[in-house]
Chain A
Amino acid sequence: MHIRIHSGLRLLFKIVIFLLFFVVAIFPVLYIFSSNLSFDFFSVFDKRVSSILLRTILLGFGTVALSLIIGIPFAFLLEYTNLPFRSFFGVAYLLPLLMPPYINTVAWLEFLGKRGDVISLNLPIDIYNLYSVIIILALSFFPVVTLITSLAIRNIDLGLEDAARLLYPQVGVMRRVTIPLIMPHILVSSIFVFVFSISEMGVPVLLMVNVFTSEVFVQFSAFFNTAGAVALSIPLIVLIFIIILLNHLYLGGKSYITISSFSGKRRLIKLSNLHRSAALIYVLIIMTFSVLIPVSVLLLESRFQFLNAFSETLKPIMYTFQSAVLSATLMTVLCFFMAYFYRKKFDPIILFPIAVPGIIIGIGIINFFNVDATSLIYNSTLIITIGHMARFLPFVTKTFHPFFEQIHPSLEESARLTGSSFPEIIQKIILPLMKPGIVSAWIIGFVLSIRELPVTLLVSPPGIQTLPVRIYTLIHYNAPEMVSSLSLILIFLTIAPIVLLLAFNRLMQATTAKK
């Protein structure tokens, strides 16, 4: 009897989680698609569409290629060699991920003298083209490749490399064993970068490059053509779905990374002084272009007025921070249970919003929630949180998957045999084991949410602005000092809580270790 009550509670909870996920992340988008399917639906498709499609594909593959070129050697240098300041760069390479790409774009425009007035280099470089978009996005997203590649390398059973080392020199071992083993992971990171880059709106809009995201935005904001915007997003969705499907077909059970049984540390390759300096220069160049130049340009262009900017913009800053914290927390809770109950069962549905441009999600949210029954939500900042959740729930859920895979079902089953209830199992067994997963998921949710632009742009209630929206608006009024200051504040707001969280986490670990 006892068991039945609890399994009933568990089932109810399981259904509620699914419904919540569905209502927030899936339904608004389905709704907007179904209500906009009409006969002149395809009227926006003309010759231009094929050129936009081509450009979008070029953007995606270009960014992936450049991210791999930058990111993979970076990972190998970090994991295999005695690169100078190795542990510093092992953390620092993640910084570009914390800087929104549209802010980097503003910085580069200022650097090249197209905007702002402090730096007047006026270099004869044309930045308003597809190549610039690719370069800026790759400099922002290469850490995704480096991160996933590093983790994969770290998890290779060292014996596999040693066995080959008896036969081949180090480089041969990397080429014939290491790279084939981490290939599935490199592929996954490529897909992330591909999806991120073709769904990025800010950079192509700022650099006036016509890809699907910017075109969808124009259709909606300039012509108020919802049906057109929706229609235009279909090729993008199909494209992303094909890529995800190909990935599933290729990977089908192919994960070579096993938890290593030989717990030794990889012996680092001692580079000659010449190679070591070359490696350092390589890493420094990448960090200079991805972090140092954008941040210094923003600092100069802000004329160090960010304290003034801070006090003037206190309200949007508060909104931004609050809503990012709230979104990250709600997403972590919801996705934790979504991943726990369903694992990868609903992957195609869960992944659906990844393929949908932010603008469309924003339109969906507006249409779906702008009714009397939900007017209270619709007119409050809560709608921003819902919008962010609709866009990012899949990413946060995906973060949980690998962590749950490492928890063996027997751990939970043995607890169930001793008669522990569902809440007890969660609290005493799953939560402690999932701590690193929860921290990662929250950080990812927070970073994605605090910088979110397209959805926020559409769903913000009158009189409420988040920092990204304020920056975006100011860009159009050409206020370089304010834009730069606010951009710096946004970067700081992104980094500070993460540093605090990680420091706190380490402190907690240290104190429990002492006990």
Chain B
Amino acid sequence: MRVHRIYKSFGKKNAVTDLSLTVGKNQSLGILGPSGCGKTTLLRLIAGLEIPDKGEIRIGNKVVYSSKNGKFIPPEKRNVGMVFQDLALWPHMTVREHIGFVLKSKKIKGMDNKKKIEETLKLLNLSSLSESYPKDLSGGEKQRVAIARALAQKPQVLLLDEPLSNLDQILKRKFKEEFNKLRKDLDVSTVYVTHNFAELEGVSENIAIMQEGRIIQSGKISEIYDNPKNEFVEKILD
């Protein structure tokens, strides 16, 4: 997946400015930045929930947005999975219905559909909760449903927006283990956004530091850690 020189402003406020990044197949890129730096907007641009003002976005070999030739592929045709910051589980659907709803959008029906639902439920250890509604789930369980929903469609790109913000330390550690295991099985490029450096350790090989809509430094975690570009980077890695 490749984002090339995109811009996005809301009124007078520039949310994303001249931003480029590349995430290889099966790679995970962590984006680190304080709240309000444009991280969420970046994810929404990749997903197609917002339209950039300028630039180009590619997913696989497909151009999904290009300002040059006015191309815009709507979100439902991008095959992007996303875990939202507040999870955004549908209150009127059970866990099983969440997965079924995703598969239905990909026109997977009948026996195939049933099998896939069971598979996904099992993958995220949700089989026993399949008939529960979100309001009856704990924080960690909701988390797993949100991830199951994002993965059920076998996305090419997985976007995670502060996925651990509502979890305690133990659950956070558990999530990392599970997530790394999942990632090995699924060919997916991941963009993981957070304001907390600790969350990225052991999950993302590469990170990018974002400030006021721009990426100010990127590279391997160890490289940046050893060689912070400025005080801002130093502080956010602390």
B42 smallest CB distance to A (angstroms): 15
- CB pair B90–A166 under 8 Å, yes or no, is no
A-B contact pairs, 30 of them (CB 8 A): A157-B86, A157-B88, A159-B86, A160-B88, A162-B84, A163-B82, A163-B88, A163-B90, A164-B90, A165-B75, A165-B76, A166-B47, A166-B48, A166-B75, A166-B76, A166-B81, A167-B101, A167-B102, A167-B106, A168-B76, A169-B74, A169-B76, A172-B105, A176-B101, A177-B90, A180-B92, A181-B90, A181-B91, A256-B92, A267-B50
| B41 closest partner in A (C-beta) | A264
Digit string of A128-164 for contact with B (CB within 8 Å is 1, else 0)?
0000000000000000000000000000010110111
Answer whether residue B167 sits at the interface, using C-beta atoms and an 8 A cutoff.
no
- The reply on B153 being an interface residue by CB < 8 A is yes
Would you give the shortest CB distance from A262 to chain B, in whole angstroms? Answer: 7
**Residue numbers in A under 8 Å from B80 (CB-CB):** 166
- Rounded to whole angstroms, the CA-CA distance of A258 and B91 in the bound complex is 10
Q: Is the interface of B mostly helix, strand, loop or mixed?
A: loop
Complex Cα distance, B74 from A267, in Å, reads: 14
A181 is contacted by which of B47, B49, B85, B92 (Cβ under 8 Å)? B92
Check if B149 is an interface residue, CB within 8 A of chain A.
Answer: yes
Q: How far is the CA of A124 from the CA of B144 in the complex (A)?
A: 66
CA distance A239 to B102 in the complex (A): 42
Task: Give the B interface residue count (CB, 8 A).
Answer: 26
Other A-B pairs beyond A160-B90, A160-B91, A163-B149, 17, CB < 8 Å? A157-B86, A159-B84, A159-B86, A162-B49, A163-B84, A163-B88, A163-B90, A166-B49, A166-B78, A166-B80, A166-B81, A167-B105, A172-B76, A177-B90, A181-B90, A256-B92, A258-B91
A261 CB to closest chain B CB, in angstroms? Answer: 5
Q: What residues of B have a CB within 8 angstroms of the CB of A267 in the complex?
A: 50
Q: Mark B100-111, 1 if CB is under 8 A from A, else 0.
A: 011001100000
Q: Do the beta carbons of A167 and B153 come within 8 Å of each other?
A: yes
B82's nearest neighbour on chain A, judged by CB, is A166
List which A462-480 residues lie within 8 A (CB) of chain B.
none
Give Cα A256 to B134, complex, Å. 11
Contact A159/B88 with A167-B101, A167-B105 known, Cβ cut-off 8 Å: yes
Residues of A within 8 A of B82 (CB): 162-163, 166
User: A256 with B91: in contact, given A166-B76, A267-B50 (CB under 8 Å)?
Assistant: yes
A265 to chain B: closest residue by CB: B10
Q: Complex: how many Å from CA A162 to CA B48?
A: 10
Shortest Cβ distance from A398 into chain B, in angstroms?
Answer: 24
Q: Which residues of B contact A160 (CB under 8 A)?
A: 88, 90-91
Number of interface residues of A (CB under 8 A): 21
> Could you tell me the distance between the alpha carbons of A261 and B162 in the complex, rounded to whole angstroms?
14
Nearest 5 Cβ contacts at the A-B interface = A159-B88, A167-B105, A163-B88, A256-B91, A159-B84
B192 to chain A, nearest CB (A): 17
CA distance A172 to B104 in the complex (A): 12
Q: Are A167 and B76 in contact (CB under 8 A)?
A: yes
B residues in contact with A166, CB < 8 Å: 47-49, 75-76, 78, 80-82
In B138-167, the 8 Å CB interface with A consists of 149, 153
Nearest CB on B from A351, distance (A): 27
Smallest CB-CB separation from B102: which chain A residue? Answer: A167
Q: How distant is B87 from chain A, measured CB to nearest CB, in Å?
A: 8
Q: In the complex, A160→B74 CA distance in Å?
A: 17
A168 touches B88 (CB 8 A): no
Q: Which residues of B contact A256 (CB under 8 A)?
A: 91-92
CB distance from A81 to the nearest CB of B (A): 16
CB atoms of B86 and A262 under 8 A apart: yes
When C-beta atoms are compared, the residue in chain B nearest to A167 turns out to be B105
User: A58–B75 Cα gap in the complex (Å)?
Assistant: 44
Q: How far is the CA of A172 from the CA of B86 in the complex (A)?
A: 22
Q: Which residues of chain A have C-beta atoms less than 8 A from B74's C-beta?
A: 169
CB distance from A459 to the nearest CB of B (A): 47
**Which one of A168, A180, A261 has the highest number of Cβ atoms from chain B below 10 Å of its Cβ?**
A168
Q: Residue-by-residue, is B61-94 near A (CB-CB < 8 Å gives 1, otherwise 0)?
A: 0000000000000111010111011111011100
**In the complex, which residues 153-202 of chain A have their Cβ closer than 8 Å to any Cβ of chain B?**
157, 159-160, 162-169, 172, 176-177, 180-181
How far is the CB of A179 from the nearest CB of chain B, in Å? 10
By a CB distance below 8 angstroms, the chain A residues around B153 are 167
- Give complex CA distance A157, B85 in Å: 12
Query: What residues on A are CB-neighbors of B105 within 8 Å?
Result: 167-168, 172
Closest B residue to A166 by beta carbon equals B75
Q: B8-64: which residues lie under 8 A (CB-CB) from chain A?
A: 44, 47-50
> What chain B residues lie within 8 Å of A176 (beta carbons)?
101
A107: min CB distance to chain B, Å: 43
Please indicate the chain B residues that have their CB under 8 angstroms from the CB of A177 in the complex. 90
Q: How far is the CA of A256 from the CA of B89 in the complex (A)?
A: 11
Contacts of B90 in A (CB 8 A): 160, 163-164, 177, 181
Residue of B nearest to A180 (CB): B92
Provide the bound-state CA to CA distance between A157 and B101, in Å.
18
User: Which A residues are in CB contact (< 8 Å) with B81?
Assistant: 166
Residues on B with beta carbons closer than 8 Å to the beta carbon of A163: 82, 84, 88, 90, 149
